[in-house]
Amino acid sequence: MILHTLLNYDTLRVIWWVLLGVLLIGFAVMDGFDLGTGMLLPFLGKNDLERRVIINSVGPTWEGNQVWLVLGGGAIFAAWPQLYAVSFSGFYLAMFVILIGLILRPVAFKYRSKNESPTWRSRWDWALFAGSFIPALICGVAMGNVLQGVPFRLTPELYIHYDGSFFGLLNPFAILAGLISVSMLLMHGAAWLCIKTEGAIAARARTVGSISAVLTAVLFVLAGIVLWKFVDGYRITSVLNTTGPSNPLFKTAAHAPGAWMQNYQQYPWTMAAPILGVVGSLLAAVLLRARKEGVAMISSGLGIAGIILTVGASMFPMILPSSVDPRFSLTVWDSSSSHMTLFIMLVCTAVFIPLIVAYTSWVYSVLWGKVNAKDINDGNGHAY
């Protein structure tokens, strides 16, 4: 109870905002190279054996990596219920499309090797590509829409009404954000393949990865310029009540050109996030060309973390702005669960996150090493 008293409501809200970012980064970094590998499969594997090598580079671990997606969804549901309600209802069709992609992945992994027909295996290879490309693209598109504001409104009883459409999400800036998401996961997947494979596959991955890394940095900078010059941000115009009830209607807010850049002016240290996104990506390209695969993988992950942190640093304290009326926007201070709920969840997180990290580290240490054609041929039917 002493700890519960020391961790006041506003502190817990910030902690859970940070934890949400950590879980999103965990998903992007840990499952990101699986998605990137799936997208690269039809292009880097020139024959069935090479494609099996690529698939088996992620085959033993991809399911475990998706725990970060489950944790992220659970955190949004329990810690930010209003955010969960708006995003999962307003983006319903987009979420459904992502779900289709995520369903395709395990089916493709399991069914591909059930038949030796080249046509059968080729179709499942493209299904695995689609199951990786669709979530990567749509997640980026969703983030681009969040930065522009989502067309939702709240009634005085806090009922949610979403006024947008699925195709309305596919606007130019959102598509640019989607392309950043795709390119950064291609970079990450290629770096993973350089670590886990050898020979021709690794050489092709090195080339694609370095190009994708440079493209990620270029698109990221371009998106920043567009966001600064052409996309209005949002700012709170009333006095902040950081320990008040979770009711977005108790504040006032407004559109403001360049508002997403104000945090960088007020807190210069936040510039570390976009710098990390650019430098991490470019450094990954250099290290891949220099055949420093392990460090390139770390740099790629840091670049991804920097890109995600940039969004959080730009928007704070906004979490989900409303393009219908800025007053309806959800912030860190007015859309969280209760003080007790956040505290109990924090205790659970402090117990289970270290266990997940320890178990994941052990799995990767056991499965460390390169996958080659000999491993596939000598797999006694256990390889994909």
The DSSP result for 112-128, as a single string, is GGG---HHHHHHHHHHH
199-230 and 172-196 helices cross at what angle (nearest 10)? 150
- The pLDDT, as a whole number, for residue 134 is 94
| Domain presence at residue 272 | yes
- The pLDDT, as a whole number, for residue 51 is 93
Q: List pLDDT tens digits, range 186-212.
A: 999 999 999 999 999 999 999 999 999
Retrieve residue 265's tokens.
């002016």
The DSSP result for 221-261, as a single string, is HHHHHHHHHH-EEEEE-S---TTS-S-GGGS-EEEEETGGG
Cα(first)–Cα(last) distance of the chain, in Å? 51
| Domain presence at residue 277 | yes
Is 55:41 a contact under the CB 8 Å cutoff?
Answer: yes
| Domain presence at residue 267 | yes
| Domain total of the chain | 1
**Phi, psi values for residue 267, rounded to 5°:** -125, 85
Is 313:277 a contact under the CB 8 Å cutoff?
Answer: no
| Domain presence at residue 384 | no
| Domain presence at residue 382 | no
Q: Which domain holds residue 254?
A: 2-377
- The pLDDT, as a whole number, for residue 328 is 93
| Domain presence at residue 276 | yes
- The pLDDT, as a whole number, for residue 379 is 62
What is the spatial distance between Cα 266 and Cα 87, in angstroms, rounded to a whole number?
Answer: 29
- The pLDDT, as a whole number, for residue 4 is 56
| Domain presence at residue 156 | yes
What does the buried/exposed string (b/e) look like for 223-242 if buried means 16 or more CB atoms within 10 Å of the residue's CB?
A: bbebbeeebbbbbbeeeeee
- The pLDDT, as a whole number, for residue 274 is 97
| Domain presence at residue 168 | yes
Sites in the chain below the pLDDT cut of 70: 1-6, 379-382
